[in-house]
Chain A
Amino acid sequence: MTDFQQQAILLAAQQQPVSWLQDFRARAANDWLAQTWPTRKTEHWKYTPLQGLQKTLLPAFGQSTELDEAVNSDLIPLDAIRLVFINGVFSAENSTQAECVVRFSEANNEQQLLIEKYLGKIVQGERHLFATLNNAWLGDGVLLHVPRAQHLEKPVYLVHVATGEEVAANQRLLIVLEENAQAEVIEHYITGNNASSGFVNALTEIQLADGADLHHYRLNMEAEHAQHIGAVHVDLQRNARLRGFALALGAKLMRIDYQMNHRGPGAELDLQGVYLPRNQQLVDYHTNICHWVPHCTSNEVFRGIVSDSAQAIFNGRIYIHKDAQKTLAELSNKNLLTSNKAEVNTKPELEIYADDVKCAHGATISQLNENARYYLRSRGLSRAEADVMLSFGFINELLEQIAQSAVHDYLQPRLARLFGRELSLELAND
């Protein structure tokens, strides 16, 4: 047991959790203390050692404050069911109310039963250190429940603002889509100013019943000093469909796990991701797509540009259970390294126990296409301009596929600016 583990439990004691979650928390606290802290030899933390975090003195949980006007105006302009959390604390005045969304602390009996049915069941806590911590720290959480055959008209937009104070925050989201329900969810992590070096532990569990359809976005746009550990765990039942998009700008520590379980035949998954660590930042995406049943498909594409002294880690596992015949699974991971001090470690994995499957993965670490550069220069663009355009194009290929136009229009110019480009034309359009 490490000091960090003990500290975390001391911190949990300061929370005032929902009464009916007490047992759940207590069990998790025991599990958390019993876990062995990962070392450099722990495969899952091979390239992102936790020694730094272990030495961190955990700050207290945050207090809600006013929403900074600058931050407010920098949110995605979206007609949405909006929930705002400031330093991990729910901010009622900045949020909208809707029937489908409820905080655990305000759940009625029926909703409590639903929460108890799924909470901590989609994630396998024992295999995920920080999921256990999230359970132990569970003061409150958000349930999104869409009943059978209902299609949410508006997207659900969850905004997590860190104001810059050194605080710890625990975020928990449970999404339950009943049969043939449809929804769109955007999780947006953003920092008010650049001084924050708190610690965020955010966990999302998603249950997609037969035929359910979810668009899910997880945008990590925190400041440089942030430490964020996040995870998205999903169960897809028969013919369910998930389209996911992940974005991470770098931070001091940025580790995000995606665990996808195909549990019903005919389920479909598309997951795309972009990571752009710079300076001394780090981004670590671990994705694990498990096909437990036949006739499912998964298609995963992650791309990253790693600059300065930054480090990117990508681990993409595809697991095919022996019963998962007729699986189609593909994964592609492409990286651009733009500096002598930058580093990429990528590990696409296939673990396959069924024979009648088509699975493939590819990973590249490379440079900009020489022919494309020549083409742009032959039209009068300087080498530097061409490179900027091609680098942005490398990730823009994925941005272009974002279905929600407000998210697309929000991200495209912001990310372009990271490459020193102003996109005037997209806005002048039509």
Chain B
Amino acid sequence: MLAQQKLKFEFTVLENYRTKKFMLRITDLFARVEEKEIIKGLNLTINPGEVHAIMGPNGAGKSTLGNVLSGRDGYQVTGGSVMFNGKDLLELEIEERAREGLFLAFQYPVEIPGVSNMEFLKAAVDAKRKHAEQPELSAVEFMKLARETSKRVSLDQAFLKRGVNEGFSGGEKKRNEIMQMMLLEPSLCILDETDSGLDIDALQVVANGVNAMRSPERSFIVVTHYQRLLDYIVPDYVHVLANGRIVKTGGKELALELEEKGYGWLETGAV
């Protein structure tokens, strides 16, 4: 990054920090997976209501970022800090992060045969409500909510009775992710390559779901390799992640530029 740009970026961060309460602030984050350093000094601040797209070449560390933020085992943070809604995120267990309002929509949601989708969703909603000191929903209330939500993502109700993601197509799995997001009402949603493997119709359903969730209190990190998804979910900021750090930040037009030029010109640093 050029010194001038870096200065500007840091100024923006500082400005946001002064004027608003940030939701997420990643400072100088280093993380490794099995001895290999993947995130190398990443900085990112997200304010409530913002949509941030993170783009970058394969192997840049895009998916790693989602896994690190959600606290997956085997992803070891070796430096830096992450503040989330006023708490030290890195101190929290996986489920505590989820209950605090962090949601990761997986690129490849795992199939869990034998565990009923409905039971699982209820347990997740209960856990979240309990954490927020709200009363648990009754079975009937929950069933009603689940049915309505499944309609919103065009997911057949039969899926509620099946095992978690069991035998779901790629599109159905992604819609199930969005449905969970709607049920859990997180404050920060991380969509990890949600567009991968989706045809245009499924993409639209997913994007509509996300857009319907946008609000001044909720933020999104949209991780994607292609610009296509950003036609549907229009970001406020686009960041380029390369070699474990953010190398360029811009508005939504940056995505178009990347589509045209590829990532090569950024990785070599010849901006």
* Chain A contacts to B: CB under 8 angstroms: 369-372, 374-383, 385-386, 389-390, 392-398, 400, 423-429
Docked pose: A400 CA to B97 CA in angstroms: 32
Given A381-B124, A393-B112, A426-B116, 7 more pairs with CB closer than 8 A:
A378-B94, A389-B115, A390-B112, A392-B114, A393-B115, A423-B119, A425-B118
Interface contact B114-A397, CB-CB below 8 Å: yes
Residues of B within 8 A of A385 (CB): 123, 127
Chain B's interface: helix, strand, loop or mixed, by majority?
helix
Interface contact A371-B124, CB-CB below 8 Å: no
The one of B73, B116, B119, B131 that contacts A374, using a Cβ cutoff of 8 Å: B73
Interface contact A377-B113, CB-CB below 8 Å: no
Docked pose: A386 CA to B93 CA in angstroms: 13
* A-B pairs, 4 with minimum CB distance: A393-B114, A397-B114, A393-B115, A428-B139
Residues of B within 8 A of A372 (CB): 110, 112, 115
Docked pose: A369 CA to B103 CA in angstroms: 21
Chain B interface residue count, CB cutoff 8 Å, equals 38
Interface contact B184-A380, CB-CB below 8 Å: yes
Residues of A within 8 A of B243 (CB): none
The one of B106, B115, B143 that contacts A429, using a Cβ cutoff of 8 Å: B143
B120 within 8 A of A: yes
Docked pose: A383 CA to B114 CA in angstroms: 18
The one of A370, A400, A428 that contacts B73, using a Cβ cutoff of 8 Å: A370
Of the A-B pairs whose beta carbons lie under 8 Å apart in the complex, a sample of 20, sorted by A's number, is A371-B110, A374-B94, A375-B109, A376-B123, A376-B124, A378-B72, A378-B97, A378-B103, A379-B120, A379-B127, A380-B98, A380-B99, A380-B184, A381-B95, A390-B115, A393-B113, A396-B114, A397-B163, A400-B163, A427-B139
Interface contact B184-A425, CB-CB below 8 Å: no
* Chain B contacts to A: CB under 8 angstroms: 70-73, 93-95, 97-99, 103-104, 106, 109-110, 112-116, 118-120, 122-124, 127-128, 131, 139-140, 142-143, 161, 163-164, 180, 184
Interface contact A378-B104, CB-CB below 8 Å: yes
Docked pose: A372 CA to B72 CA in angstroms: 12
Residues of B within 8 A of A390 (CB): 112, 115
Docked pose: A386 CA to B114 CA in angstroms: 13
Residues of A within 8 A of B95 (CB): 377-383, 386
Q: Which partner residue on chain B sits nearest A377 by CB separation?
A: B94
Chain A's interface: helix, strand, loop or mixed, by majority?
helix
- Whole-angstrom distance from the CB of A114 to the nearest CB of chain B? 42
Interface contact B120-A389, CB-CB below 8 Å: yes
Residues of B within 8 A of A376 (CB): 112, 115, 120, 123-124
Interface contact B112-A380, CB-CB below 8 Å: no
Docked pose: A232 CA to B72 CA in angstroms: 47
Docked pose: A396 CA to B142 CA in angstroms: 22
Residues of B within 8 A of A397 (CB): 113-114, 163
- Whole-angstrom distance from the CB of A1 to the nearest CB of chain B? 48
- Whole-angstrom distance from the CB of B258 to the nearest CB of chain A? 29
Interface contact A381-B123, CB-CB below 8 Å: yes
Residues of B within 8 A of A383 (CB): 93, 95
Interface contact B143-A380, CB-CB below 8 Å: no
- Whole-angstrom distance from the CB of A413 to the nearest CB of chain B? 11
- Whole-angstrom distance from the CB of B133 to the nearest CB of chain A? 14
Residues of A within 8 A of B127 (CB): 379-382, 385
Docked pose: A169 CA to B258 CA in angstroms: 79
Given A381-B127, A392-B115: A425 and B139 interface contact (C-beta under 8 Å): yes
Interface contact A393-B139, CB-CB below 8 Å: no
Residues of B within 8 A of A378 (CB): 70-72, 94-95, 97-98, 103-104
Docked pose: A389 CA to B93 CA in angstroms: 18
Docked pose: A425 CA to B131 CA in angstroms: 21
Docked pose: A248 CA to B243 CA in angstroms: 55
Docked pose: A427 CA to B164 CA in angstroms: 19
Residues of A within 8 A of B116 (CB): 396, 425-426
Docked pose: A423 CA to B116 CA in angstroms: 10
Docked pose: A182 CA to B113 CA in angstroms: 31
Residues of B within 8 A of A379 (CB): 95, 98, 120, 124, 127, 180, 184
